[in-house]
């Protein structure tokens, strides 16, 4: 059994303990997102701004639960409302990767009824 090394080993989102997902694996996740009626969305962030840390944030009142610094990344276009095919999402992932190769990119999914993000995972690590 391996022990996770926390030193210089930042973890992000749900699948960050796994090796990077292939496009086929991303496609299967998107199929599940679409089947559940969720709306996929891509977000990206430069490495220095992609994780919550006291070193890259200015806090006005100490760290507290629910503090939202660095949890919101820049959105790639609009959420893909009405998306019906994983290939549509993979096309946008490829375009975002090409445009921002130095950034982390994550795929998120939103529940339009609950008005919340319910899934997110990395699709690119710089």
Hey, what domains does the chain have and what are their CATH numbers?
23-49+72-124 (3.30.190.10)
Encoding tokens for residue 73? 């990344």
Taking a C-beta distance cutoff of 8 angstroms, is the pair 42, 100 a contact? no
Confidence (pLDDT) at 62? 55
pLDDT bracket for residue 80 (50, 70, 90)? very high
Confidence (pLDDT) at 60? 56
In this structure, the strands spanning 74-76 and 39-45 are: antiparallel
Confidence (pLDDT) at 51? 73
Is pLDDT of 2 > 90? Answer: no
Tens of pLDDT, residue by residue over 82-122, are 899 999 999 999 999 999 999 999 999 999 888 888 988 99
Confidence (pLDDT) at 61? 58
Taking a C-beta distance cutoff of 8 angstroms, is the pair 121, 62 a contact? no
DSSP 84: -
Q: What is the pTM of this model?
A: 0.79
Q: Which residues, 6+ apart, have CB-to-CB distance to 59 below 8 Å?
A: 67, 69
Find the length of the chain: 126
Tens of pLDDT, residue by residue over 14-66, are 677 778 899 999 999 999 999 999 999 999 999 887 776 656 555 555 555 55
Confidence (pLDDT) at 54? 58
Give the whole-angstrom CA distance, residue 24 versus residue 86.
Answer: 10
């Amino acid at each position: 059994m391996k022990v996770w090394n926390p030193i210089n080993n930042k973890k992000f989102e749900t699948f960050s303990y796994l090796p990077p997902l292939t496009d086929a694996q991303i496609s299967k996740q998107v199929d599940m997102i679409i089947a559940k009626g969720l709306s996929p969305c891509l977000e990206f962030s430069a490495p220095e701004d992609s994780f919550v840390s006291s070193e890259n944030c200015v806090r006005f009142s100490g760290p507290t639960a629910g503090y939202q610094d660095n949890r919101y990344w820049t959105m790639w276009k609009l959420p893909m409302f009405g998306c019906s095919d994983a290939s549509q999402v993979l096309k946008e992932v490829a375009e975002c990767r090409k445009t921002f190769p130095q950034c982390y990119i994550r795929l998120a999914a939103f529940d339009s009824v609950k008005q919340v993000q319910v899934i997110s995972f990395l699709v690119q690590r710089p």
